[in-house]
Structure 1
Amino acid sequence: MASVYSTLTYWLVDHPNIANFTWTEGETLGSTVFFVSVVVSVYLSATFLLRSVIESLPSLGPRILKPITAIHSLILCLLSIVMAVGCTLSLTSGPTARVLHAVCLPVDTKPSGPLFFWAQVFYLSKIFEFGDTVLIILGKATHRLSFLHVYHHATVVVMCFIWLRTRQSMFPVGLVTNSTVHVIMYGYYFLCAVGSRPKWKRLVTDCQITQFFLGFVISGWMFREHLFGSGCSGIWGWCFTFAFNASLLALFFNFYFKNYVKKTTLERLAKKAIDYYYSKETSKLS
């Protein structure tokens, strides 16, 4: 077990490319406002354009689409595991492990080292996740192309860029929790694509909502450290992230109600109606 831990720590924390990483605006890949603006604009434009002509697009069919979906989901599932483990080890390994930095980064923090390396990987992975939308469009599953889906995919890229640019406190918490949720989510999508649909679809939404609540609770801790401690880095970036997560939570609750609570209530009412009908018929026969 110790050798596994040491191996993981070397490859995910102490490797020179990770340990010596420095995020430099204008030099690191994707590190400019122009890059973010172009990427998000292209994503939104392409999504709305393809959405308007979706009926005229050729259908790839499940034989082609399912293997592509499986590969895409498997890559993101495995990448999410690596990011969650890498960021966690970056906080907890070494002689001077600083778990508190998961909540509050010092105001003089430099955007360098393993934590910011994984923040950069996480940021770029959100662009790769645009493939979710492409697959939905190619599969002509218009019911899945909701405002929540497009809004989340577009804005999360902006949020991750702000994490890096402002050296935002609490980004390690967001990175680890979101990556963990994505392990479950993309694992579910992968299993569906290979023909084994699990019964825990609802768990994905439950975990996403739990993630937001956890973030809000820890935000209170961070804000206390900022006001009564030595201060936390990237407080304005945190304000953007907090507002974004609050909006997502509201949208997820709406999604949850429509797809689970309302559905469960209707099923219960239908069952009562059927039971009542059969009880009446039975009484007539007797």
Structure 2
Amino acid sequence: MGRSVIQTLTFWLSEHPSIVGFRWSHANSWGSTWSFLFTAIALYLTISVLLHLLLALLRRKGRPVPLGPIPALHSLFMTLLSFTIFAGITLSSAAEIKETKWFWRRSKTPFQWLLCFPLGTRPSGRVFFWSYIYYLSRFFHMIRTFFTILRRGRVVPFQLFNHSILTFISFMWLEFSQSFQVLAILSTTLVYSVVYAYRFWVAIGLPRAGFAFVVNCQMLLLGCNVACHVGVLLMHFMKGGCNGIGAWGFNSVLNAVILLLFLNFYVKIHWGYGRRVALAAVEEAKAEAAEEEVVRVKDK
């Protein structure tokens, strides 16, 4: 019974003809053109700004727009989608390594293949199918921006920049058969599965973590990405070149900008969190002192 379930999942996640025969094509893959990419990002930014302006005119100050169960359902959907992509690309990578290692095994180990595709790699097959699904999932991530605007009544510039750049990067992975994307998708979807599960947990009224859980997860993800980027660079010079290294270099610059912006945000979050904890401790100490004073007065 258990083996049958595993075989069924393996078929649907890595052996289905649509997955094995996938090919990134401007003619046949939805959303695969540069014009679509730039139009979609521009539309996302425009809607976000217009929604912000509309709320500034119509909404009462400090009053969030009620969203009901929508954010919780979105978080649940993104949890399942992220985990599906993680499972799919894990099984697909194992299958691709098994079938193609005869071609590159003298120069690379399987882990090195995950970092550095051989020169001449084309965007087709199992791994690129799940890379394509990940690219499409970026548009579902954008929806969370609208929730933030409706709740807070304002745009968060870092959020707009982050979603736009990550969507652009995921497009370039496919367009240039870029190395490193497998490990990037594995780590990102694993972290997103945890982050969105936590958001769903909080959205249905369960207790929050005692620290900035989401921010720390994102910081961990960025740290892993930096380490992998260093690995790609070393592999490129030591193993005869990695496919899509030009796109990788451009994406590295974009990732560096995101990292710097996030570090600034991370420091502010932790500084603010530390100050809130300190102020809460001071207030608690004052309350305890007041209670002791009342007791002493009563005793007299």
TM-score range for the pair, normalised by the shorter chain length: 0.7 to 0.9
Tell me the residue number matched to 1:92. Answer: 94
Q: Using a 3 Å threshold, how does the CA distance of structure 1 residues 90 and 57 change in structure 2: closer, same or farther?
A: farther
Q: Does 1:262 align with 2:272?
A: yes
Consecutive unaligned residues of structure 1, counting only runs of 5 or more, are: none
Q: Using a 3 Å threshold, how does the CA distance of structure 1 residues 47 and 269 change in structure 2: closer, same or farther?
A: closer
Q: Which moved more, 1:197-206 or 1:181-190?
A: 197-206
Q: Using a 3 Å threshold, how does the CA distance of structure 1 residues 148 and 19 change in structure 2: closer, same or farther?
A: same
Contact 2:64 2:153 in 1 (8 A): no
Q: Using a 3 Å threshold, how does the CA distance of structure 1 residues 270 and 141 change in structure 2: closer, same or farther?
A: closer
Q: Which moved more, 1:255-264 or 1:78-87?
A: 255-264
Contact 1:73 1:186 in 2 (8 A): yes
Tell me the residue number matched to 2:161. Answer: 151
Residues in 2 aligned to 1:158 and 1:71: alpha-carbon distance in whole angstroms: 26
Give the one of 130, 133, 147 matched to 1:135.
147
SS for the counterpart of 2:69 is helix
Tell me the residue number matched to 1:184. Answer: 194
Structure 1 residue 80 displacement after superposition:
0.1
Give the one of 112, 117, 122 matched to 2:134.
122
Tell me the residue number matched to 1:107. Answer: 119
Output the TM-score relative to the length of structure 1: 0.87
Tell me the residue number matched to 1:79. Answer: 81
Q: Which moved more, 1:239-248 or 1:10-19?
A: 239-248
Residues in 2 aligned to 1:121 and 1:252: alpha-carbon distance in whole angstroms: 26
Deviation string for 1:54-74 (max 9, x for gaps)?
Answer: 134578953xx1222122111
Aligned pair count reads 282
Q: Using a 3 Å threshold, how does the CA distance of structure 1 residues 142 and 101 change in structure 2: closer, same or farther?
A: farther
Larger Rg: 2
Contact 1:91 1:101 in 2 (8 A): no
- RMSD after superposition: 2.8
Residues in 2 aligned to 1:48 and 1:23: alpha-carbon distance in whole angstroms: 32
Q: Using a 3 Å threshold, how does the CA distance of structure 1 residues 100 and 90 change in structure 2: closer, same or farther?
A: farther
Structure 1 residue 279 displacement after superposition:
7.0
Residues in 2 aligned to 1:151 and 1:258: alpha-carbon distance in whole angstroms: 18
Residues in 2 aligned to 1:73 and 1:183: alpha-carbon distance in whole angstroms: 9
Residues in 1 aligned to 2:4 and 2:117: alpha-carbon distance in whole angstroms: 30
Consecutive unaligned residues of structure 2, counting only runs of 5 or more, are: 102-109
Residues in 1 aligned to 2:4 and 2:235: alpha-carbon distance in whole angstroms: 36
Q: Using a 3 Å threshold, how does the CA distance of structure 1 residues 99 and 25 change in structure 2: closer, same or farther?
A: farther
Q: Which moved more, 1:99-108 or 1:157-166?
A: 99-108
SS for the counterpart of 2:212 is helix
Residues in 1 aligned to 2:209 and 2:74: alpha-carbon distance in whole angstroms: 21
Structure 1 residue 272 displacement after superposition:
5.3
Output the TM-score relative to the length of structure 2: 0.84
Give the one of 261, 278, 281 matched to 1:251.
261
Tell me the residue number matched to 2:29. Answer: 28
Tell me the residue number matched to 1:14. Answer: 15
Q: Which moved more, 1:248-257 or 1:211-220?
A: 248-257
Q: Which moved more, 1:75-84 or 1:21-30?
A: 21-30
- The amino acid across from 2:187 in the alignment is T
Q: Which moved more, 1:116-125 or 1:187-196?
A: 187-196
Structure 1 residue 99 displacement after superposition:
4.1
Contact 1:104 1:169 in 2 (8 A): yes
Structure 1 residue 52 displacement after superposition:
1.5
Q: Using a 3 Å threshold, how does the CA distance of structure 1 residues 110 and 235 change in structure 2: closer, same or farther?
A: same
Structure 1 residue 42 displacement after superposition:
0.8
Tell me the residue number matched to 1:203. Answer: 213
